[in-house]
């Protein structure tokens, strides 16, 4: 048994968290992680407030353990509405990224906890100053939105600068990784790629099989997948998109997706398109449109297993993923290996 500040703070058995992954972290996967002793996180960025409430209720039917939701604060009102639902439902953990949390006091009032997620040292320090209870620090190895610095670099730097518990993300999949993270100053690890490759994960079989064959060199980083720097499984689709120029058609397609998603009128859509054409490609409208285009491709991969158009976010830890265990098998295995590794390391002390 390994007890850390993270297991004390969140009341879970093991220092392992399920990373928020839109479309992947279903209530079933979240509950499976909670029931196996970890902290399950339900990603809500692509959920309406009603879907968020429904997901929370489904999780509560499947587990009585603490769990959390994850939200991208850049989504503005959509994020506000979802967080409001989570507060009304007194969700034990609110995990946010990409923005400034306004809800920390409200969550603390009902005994909940707030976890910030970042890939930058300066944002980790800010999250601690703002009153977050813990922080997820994501290294470059991670699927999706890591930055340039690897976990090995980021984690000790952040650990020397913040006092709140750190949950390290990016590149974890086994017990040796957990033992290393604890030695580097983390109180827990968060995993995405590895949990997406479990029996309870509903990721399409085509992509699970591709992941099993992939090595640590079979991922690719680009800003062209969804407008933000992101790491995905290397396939003919992702290689073509990464090598191509600015994805103009893709971005307009994304703008149209945004129109459909938020029920925008045609005049609003045309206005948005003109604003996009008058601004540089880093303008929030372009980024938003490219995100929407990326979302379409992610769902094609995750739900349909579409290899011709789908993009599947995946991290470098794929190189060490050789099977599709159940969540409980995976967590048990990691804990046994982490304990053995820590004992072996301890025995080296003269
Ligand atoms: C299939 C998949 C989908 C993901 N989707 C999202 C997402 O929608 N939004 C997000 O911020 N991060 C997403 N992530 C990233 C995770 O939240 C997490 O940061 C990352 O997986 C941690 O590193 P690891 O993959 O090495 O475990 C996704 C990861 C995977 C594997």
Domains of the chain in sequence order: 5-204+321-347 (3.20.20.70), 215-302 (no CATH)
Give the residue from 187, 142, 177 showing the smallest Cα distance to 333. Answer: 177
pLDDT digits (tens, 9 = 90+) for 98-119: 899 999 999 999 999 999 999 9
Cα separation, 270 vs 84, whole angstroms: 31
Pairing of strands 230-233, 40-43: unpaired
User: Residue-wise over 199-226: b if at least 16 C-beta within 10 A, else e?
Assistant: ebbebbeebbebbeebeeebbbbbbbbb
233 lines ligand 1 (CB under 6 A): no
**284, pLDDT greater than 80:** no
Model pLDDT, residue 204: 98
Q: Which of 16, 18, 21 to mutate to test the pocket of ligand 1 (most atoms within 8 A of CB)?
A: 21
Cα separation, 150 vs 336, whole angstroms: 26
Model pLDDT, residue 261: 67
The neighbour count for residue 161, using CB atoms within 10 Å, is 12
Confidence of residue 262 (pLDDT cuts 50, 70, 90): low
CA of 20 to the centre of ligand 1 (A): 6
CA of 44 to the centre of ligand 1 (A): 13
| Higher per-residue pLDDT: 173 or 350 | 173
315 lines ligand 1 (CB under 6 A): yes
Q: Whose CA is nearest to atom 21 of ligand 1?
A: 192
211 lines ligand 1 (CB under 6 A): no
Report yes or no: 259 and 196 within 8 Å, Cβ to Cβ. Answer: no
How many helices (DSSP H) and strands (DSSP E) are in the chain? 15, 10
The neighbour count for residue 179, using CB atoms within 10 Å, is 22
pLDDT digits (tens, 9 = 90+) for 137-160: 999 999 998 899 999 999 999 999
170 lines ligand 1 (CB under 6 A): yes
Q: Which of 25, 116, 140, 193 to mutate to test the pocket of ligand 1 (most atoms within 8 A of CB)?
A: 193
Report yes or no: 2 and 182 within 8 Å, Cβ to Cβ. Answer: yes
Q: Whose CA is nearest to atom 7 of ligand 1?
A: 21
CA of 114 to the centre of ligand 1 (A): 19
**272, pLDDT greater than 80:** no
CA of 225 to the centre of ligand 1 (A): 14
The neighbour count for residue 3, using CB atoms within 10 Å, is 11
Cα separation, 13 vs 19, whole angstroms: 17
The neighbour count for residue 326, using CB atoms within 10 Å, is 13
Measured distance between the N- and C-terminal CA atoms of the chain, rounded to whole angstroms: 24
Residue with tokens 């879970």: 12
73 lines ligand 1 (CB under 6 A): no
pTM (2 decimals)? 0.93
37 torsion bin: left (phi>0), alpha (psi -120 to 50), beta (else): left
pLDDT digits (tens, 9 = 90+) for 202-236: 999 999 999 999 999 999 999 888 888 999 999 99
| Higher per-residue pLDDT: 257 or 156 | 156
Q: Which atom, in ligand 1's list, is nearest to the CA of 139? A: 23
Q: Whose CA is nearest to atom 13 of ligand 1?
A: 21
Cα separation, 329 vs 314, whole angstroms: 21
CA of 21 to the centre of ligand 1 (A): 5
Q: Which atom, in ligand 1's list, is nearest to the CA of 173? A: 27
52 lines ligand 1 (CB under 6 A): no
């Amino acid at each position: 048994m390994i007890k850390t500040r993270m297991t004390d703070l969140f009341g879970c058995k093991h220092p392992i968290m399920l990373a928020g992954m839109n479309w992947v972290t279903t209530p079933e996967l979240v509950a499976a992680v909670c029931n196996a002793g970890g902290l399950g996180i339900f990603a809500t960025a692509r959920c309406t407030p009603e879907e968020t409430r429904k997901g929370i209720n489904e999780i509560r039917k499947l587990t009585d353990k603490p769990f959390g939701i994850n939200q991208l604060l850049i989504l503005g009102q959509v994020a506000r509405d979802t967080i409001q639902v989570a507060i009304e439902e007194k969700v034990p953990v609110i995990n946010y990224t990409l923005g400034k949390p306004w809800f920390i006091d409200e969550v603390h009032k009902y005994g909940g906890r707030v976890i910030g997620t970042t890939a930058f040292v300066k944002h980790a320090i800010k999250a601690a100053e703002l009153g977050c209870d813990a922080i997820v620090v994501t290294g470059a190895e991670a699927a999706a939105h890591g930055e340039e610095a690897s976990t090995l670099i980021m984690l000790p730097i952040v650990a020397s600068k913040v006092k709140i518990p750190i949950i390290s993300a990016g590149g974890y999949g086994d017990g040796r990784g957990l033992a290393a993270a604890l030695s580097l100053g983390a109180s827990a690890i968060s995993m995405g790629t590895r949990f997406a490759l479990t029996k309870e994960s509903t990721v399409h079989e085509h992509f699970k099989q591709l992941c099993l064959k992939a090595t640590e060199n079979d991922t690719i980083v680009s800003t062209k997948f969804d407008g933000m720097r992101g790491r995905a499984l290397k396939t003919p689709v992702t290689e073509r998109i990464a090598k191509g120029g600015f994805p103009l058609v893709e971005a307009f397609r994304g703008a149209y997706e945004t129109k459909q998603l938020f029920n925008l009128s045609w005049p609003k859509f045309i206005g948005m398109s003109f604003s996009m054409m008058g601004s540089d490609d880093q303008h929030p409208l372009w980024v938003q449109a490219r995100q929407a285009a990326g979302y379409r491709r992610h769902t094609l991969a995750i739900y349909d297993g579409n290899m011709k158009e789908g993009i599947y976010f995946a991290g470098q830890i794929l190189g060490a993923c050789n099977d599709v265990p159940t969540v409980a098998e995976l967590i048990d295995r990691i804990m046994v290996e982490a304990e053995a590794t820590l004992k072996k390391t301890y025995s080296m002390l003269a």
